[in-house]
Amino acid sequence: MNTPIYIVDAFADQAYAGNPAAVCLLQRPADEDFMARTAAEMNLSETAFVWPEEDGYRLRWFTPAVEVNLCGHATLASAHVLWESGRLDPQEEARFLTRSGLLRARQTPQGISLFFPPYGLAASPPIPGLAAALGIAEEQVLETVRYADNVLVRLGDEALLRGLRPDYIRLAALEPRAVGVTAKSGTPGIDFVSRFFAPGIGVNEDPVTGSLHTALAPYWAERLGRSELTAYQVSARGGLLYLQVSPEQVILSGNAVTVVSGLLQVDPELSYK
């Protein structure tokens, strides 16, 4: 009862920017139905559930509809809450045990830095109906790349990316779990831009997607010939990410701002099935 819960804007320097995530701090594992219902109640792109385990914290992520295997912005938000609430000293590394293995976070001059495994990329043939669902012509797609259960689409024009008005019903009916769209940036100081659509798992457009950048960072590092990149996700809220790429890991860095802190007046020990 009276479980601490926070809403944090991740990859943001000020409130009401970046990507909001709820972070629920538990004392012990909770019933999955409780977590799913809480995430649906929060109705944010991700709700993170964190509790002490071994020499770190167990971390699980839920959209309003499903549990996911990897989420960047809610991991950043969770680390931010652990430091801000005094559960971890600022100098301590946050260690998270997740479906994607051990993930680490540190406070660095770039903000909060997340140490994630890179996604493996594989060339993909055109996906029938994808261009139409995005609202563009097939010839405007320069390249299609698979990563995990998702697809990455490269466009040749940043203005085209910014102007996308997808048909979410048609997108949700396609086989990829989610679609990331990217283009080289025309803005000085920004290397590439992106957007991310996942209506099939309850998120029409995600404001800032850390997990997407574990695919985008190696993708653009290879094409631009650099291991350090700056990215901007062009959602209505927008988010800035600093990226470092190596064969072993992708480091994603950004800031976070707590917008809401309070107590969840529901007992996580109860089952709601």
**Residue pointed to by tokens 């594989």:** 122
Residues 6 or more apart from 139 whose CB is under 8 A from it? none
Q: Is 238 left (phi over 0), alpha (psi -120 to 50) or beta?
A: left
Alpha-carbon span 162 to 173, nearest angstrom: 23
Q: Are 64 and 74 in contact, with CB atoms under 8 Å apart? A: no
Q: Calculate the CA 71 to chain-centre distance.
A: 4
Which residues are the active-site residues?
Answer: 46
Alpha-carbon span 146 to 131, nearest angstrom: 15
Tell me how crowded residue 265 is: count the other CB atoms within 10 A of its CB.
9
C-alpha distances in Å from residue 105, one per residue of 80, 133, 155, 233: 9, 36, 32, 21
Alpha-carbon span 245 to 222, nearest angstrom: 10
Count H helices and E strands in the chain, helices first.
6, 18
Closest CA to 53 of 81, 32, 25, 76: 25
